[in-house]
Amino acid sequence: KNQVEQSPQSLIILEGKNCTLQCNYTVSPFSNLRWYKQDTGRGPVSLTIMTFSENTKSNGRYTATLDADTKQSSLHITASQLSDSASYICVVSDRGSTLGRLYFGRGTQLTVWP
């Protein structure tokens, strides 16, 4: 069964600190993995996308890593800001269907305190 598991479920950090979010998946055949940021009451917005051959990708203070062998990904946030408070969702796409089916994790709810 194709699944995406994220940890931790929730995280509270102080402004300026770094944090790392984890994602494990069993989706096969694998196409790509995205990290989305979802602010409360809004739709998800893509932060990074990684294909099988990529093992790291940065977008400003966000750095994603991918280990396709162990089927694990992480999202590292550097020098956190209050605006980073959101849910971060790991989304894996398979390449076994014309729809490009997406498998969503439940997200990590990050709260940044001043």
- The binder of other proteins chosen from 1, 14, 29, 43 (CB under 8 A): 43
Torsion of CA 80, 11, 69, 35, to 10 degrees: -60
Q: Is 82 helix (H, G, I), strand (E, B) or coil?
A: helix
Of the candidate spans 21-29, 59-67, 74-82, 104-112, the one that interacts with other proteins by CB under 8 A turns out to be: 104-112
Triad 17, 22, 35: Cα angle to 5°: 90
If one asks whether residue 32 binds other proteins (CB under 8 A), the answer comes out as yes
Q: Which of 22, 49, 71, 85 binds other proteins (CB under 8 A)?
A: 49
Give the shortest CB-86-to-other proteins separation in angstroms: 13
| Rounded Cα gap, residues 70 and 63, in angstroms | 18
Q: Is 106 in the site for other proteins (CB under 8 A)?
A: yes
Among 30, 107, 110, 112, binds other proteins (CB under 8 A): 107
Rounded Cα gap, residues 15 and 18, in angstroms: 9
